[in-house]
Amino acid sequence: MIIQRLELYTQKLPEQKSFYTGLLGMPLIEEADDSFTVMAGHTRLTFKQANESKVYHFAFNIEENKLESAVRFVRERTRTLSDGQEEIFRFEDWNAHACYFYDAAGNIVEFIARHNLASQAEGTFSIQDVLGISELGMPVEDVPEVVRYCREELGLDPWRGNGTDFQPVGDEHGLFIVASLDRSWFPTQTQAEVAPFIITIAGSQERRSVIPGYPYEIIISRSAIE
C-alpha cells in the first residue's frame, strides 16, 4: 500500500507551512491562498485551511538505519515526545523503532524505522531520508466493521493489531491505523477523534470510496506520482 497523496486540514496554515518547509525542510511543491503541498519521499502531503481544529496521527517511514540520528534531527528543531522514560520506542511485534513529535497544529507525527525494510543508507539523517507517509490514523466507533469494509471493498488486509479496538490494515509500506474513538494516540493522552482526510493510494483499479459514516475519502489510483 503506497500512499501517494494525503490531504489534511488545519486552522494553522501559516504555522504548518513554516514547520514543514522551514523547520523540517520538506520541499514546497505547490501553494495557494488556502493550502500548500510538500514532498515527503514518495508522498505529496497537503494541508488545507479549515475553520476548526482537529488532531491527526500519521507516520513517515524513514531509512531504517537512521533512527538515532533522526531523533537528534527532531531534537534540534522541536521536542520529542516521551512516555516519561523513553523517547525511542521499540515495537517488538512490528520489528520497528520509532520517535514522535508534535507539529505546529498539535498533530502527532512519527518517524518510524521498520527493520523488515532494511537500509544501507550512509551518513546522518536528513529530510531526504524520509521515504514517504506510511501510517494514517483512522478513528472509528466500530473497528471490526471498518476493517471488514477495508478488506472487502478496498482489498486491504489486517496487519498485526488485536482486531477489536486497534487494527492496522495494509502493509509496512502503508497502513490505516483503524482505532477505537475511546483510545488515545500513543505516546500521548490525546484522544483519537474523527478528522476529515483525502488519501490517494496506488492500486490496479481506479476507484474512489468513502468509509461509510465518516469523512474519510480514499482514492485508488493507477497513476504513478511524478
Statement: residue 226 has pLDDT above 50: no
Read off the pLDDT of residues 64-75 as tens digits, 9 standing for 90 and up.
999 999 999 999
One-letter amino acid of 10 = T
CA distances from 161 to 73, 91, 128, 164 (A): 30, 12, 30, 8
Q: What is the pLDDT of residue 85?
A: 83
Confidence category of residue 224, pLDDT binned at 50, 70, 90: low
Q: What is the pLDDT of residue 141?
A: 97
In the chain, % of residues over pLDDT 70:
99
Read off the pLDDT of residues 25-44 as tens digits, 9 standing for 90 and up.
999 999 999 999 999 999 99
Q: What is the pLDDT of residue 93?
A: 95
Q: What is the pLDDT of residue 7?
A: 98
Strands (E), the chain: 3-10, 28-32, 35-40, 43-49, 57-62, 89-91, 96-102, 108-114, 130-140, 166-171, 174-180, 197-202, 207-210, 216-221
Cβ count within 10 A of residue 122 = 8
Read off the pLDDT of residues 95-133 as tens digits, 9 standing for 90 and up.
999 999 999 999 999 999 999 999 999 999 999 999 999
CATH topology of domain 3-221: 2,3-Dihydroxybiphenyl 1,2-Dioxygenase; domain 1 (3.10.180)
In the chain, % of residues over pLDDT 90:
92
pTM score, two decimals?
Answer: 0.95
Q: What is the pLDDT of residue 57?
A: 98
Structural domain spans, the chain: 3-221
| Bridge partners (DSSP) listed for residue 6 | 45, 199
Q: How far apart, in whole angstroms, are the C-alpha atoms of residue 131 and residue 143?
A: 28
Confidence category of residue 223, pLDDT binned at 50, 70, 90: confident
